[in-house]
């Protein structure tokens, strides 16, 4: 697909992006503003108490990043006005109904205007507390879906998942959807509503025992790993992301839905410039260790294919998928 098709699609579109302070979301937002400043509006959902806090997070944790250097050079003094007109920070939380947005007028405005919803909100900690991971990765995804269904002009919900919902299987793995209750090891009985009850019951037990916050955190982490492995997934992160896919597929009805499953996301390859990364993420620690001379060798198969993909390639795939599948729905 030509870049021109993407640029044309984005013109005068209104897009809601969740998880807006995340690594991939920043690259997604920067690219849209850089290639199509005539986008109508970007609503960026940020976890914040109010609009003022959301605005501060937007400027401090998104716009101020070196990632926006090329856009700043391109736009100059006009960048601030572009941001103020095109970008609306939204204080909210995907673990709540209506994404936790308290401003009813803003909610109605988004329901009226949004064309595309992009769900990038997630906790990616492999051993996250089960209650936290379930609330954000699974239940949160359902809240995003329900919000998207209420948008009068909705063309598409794009949900970013992970390739590792496929677990630790080897060989050719087809991009098939997950169905409600499906497991990797064939164990029956996976019920997402029951998983919520398991969490609630365990939390009540811990509270009755007057457990410390540290003990509760440890117990919730252990519970997540135990439940994941019971059904064939290696960790809490990929288990809760897999359950999110099940829920979205089951509940989407007529809403066009695209699920993107990237592998390990690394620094940018080309856009807006090579090598941008935020912090030391996943496999980045190996590169840092090698660069500093602390890792002088690394055992591996030189013929193997590493599960790595630059972040800007993921964003490009997201944009192409948006255009292709939104047009299919028209």
Active site residues: 237, 241
The answer, yes or no, to whether the previous bond of 272 is cis (omega within 30 of 0) is yes
For residue 190, the tally of other CB atoms under 10 A from its CB is 20
β-strand partners of 159: 119, 259
Radius of gyration of the chain (CA): 20
Cα–Cα dist 187/166, whole Å: 15
How distant, in Å, are the alpha carbons of 70, 185, 198, 303 from that of 276?
A: 12, 38, 41, 27
Distance CA 178, CA 166 (A): 10
**How many whole angstroms separate alpha carbon 252 and alpha carbon 316?**
24
Closest Cα partner for 91 from 20, 33, 14? Answer: 20
How many C-beta atoms lie closer than 10 Å to residue 228's C-beta?
Answer: 25
């Amino acid at each position: 697909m030509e870049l021109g098709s993407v640029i044309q699609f984005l013109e005068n579109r209104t897009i809601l992006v969740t998880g807006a302070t995340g690594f991939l979301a920043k690259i997604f937002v920067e690219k849209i503003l850089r290639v199509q400043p005539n986008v109508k509006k970007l609503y960026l959902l940020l976890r914040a108490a109010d609009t003022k806090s959301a605005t501060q997070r937007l400027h401090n944790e998104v716009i101020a990043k070196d990632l926006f250097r090329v856009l700043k050079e391109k736009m100059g003094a006009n960048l601030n006005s572009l941001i103020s007109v095109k970008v609306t920070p939204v204080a909210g939380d995907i673990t709540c109904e209506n994404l936790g947005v308290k401003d009813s007028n803003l909610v109605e405005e988004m329901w009226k205007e949004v064309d595309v919803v992009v769900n990038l909100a997630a906790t990616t900690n492999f051993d996250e507390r089960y209650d936290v991971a379930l609330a954000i990765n699974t239940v949160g995804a359902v809240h995003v879906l329900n919000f998207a269904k209420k948008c009068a002009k909705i063309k598409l919900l794009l949900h970013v998942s992970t390739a590792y919902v496929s677990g630790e299987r080897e060989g050719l793995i087809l991009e098939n959807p997950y169905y409600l209750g499906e497991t990797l090891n064939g164990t029956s009985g996976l019920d997402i509503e029951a998983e919520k009850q398991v969490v609630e019951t365990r939390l009540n037990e811990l509270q009755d025992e007057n457990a410390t916050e540290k003990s509760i955190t440890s117990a919730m982490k252990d519970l997540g790993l135990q439940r994941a492995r019971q059904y064939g997934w290696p960790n809490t992160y990929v288990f809760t992301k897999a359950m999110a896919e099940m829920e979205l597929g089951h509940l989407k009805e007529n809403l066009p839905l695209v699920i993107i499953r990237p592998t390990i996301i690394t620094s940018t390859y080309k856009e807006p410039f090579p090598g941008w990364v935020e912090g030391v993420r996943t496999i980045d620690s190996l590169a840092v260790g090698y660069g500093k001379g602390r890792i002088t060798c690394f055992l591996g198969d030189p013929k193997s294919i590493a599960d790595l993909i630059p972040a800007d390639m993921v964003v490009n795939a997201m944009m192409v998928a948006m255009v292709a599948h939104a047009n299919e729905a028209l």
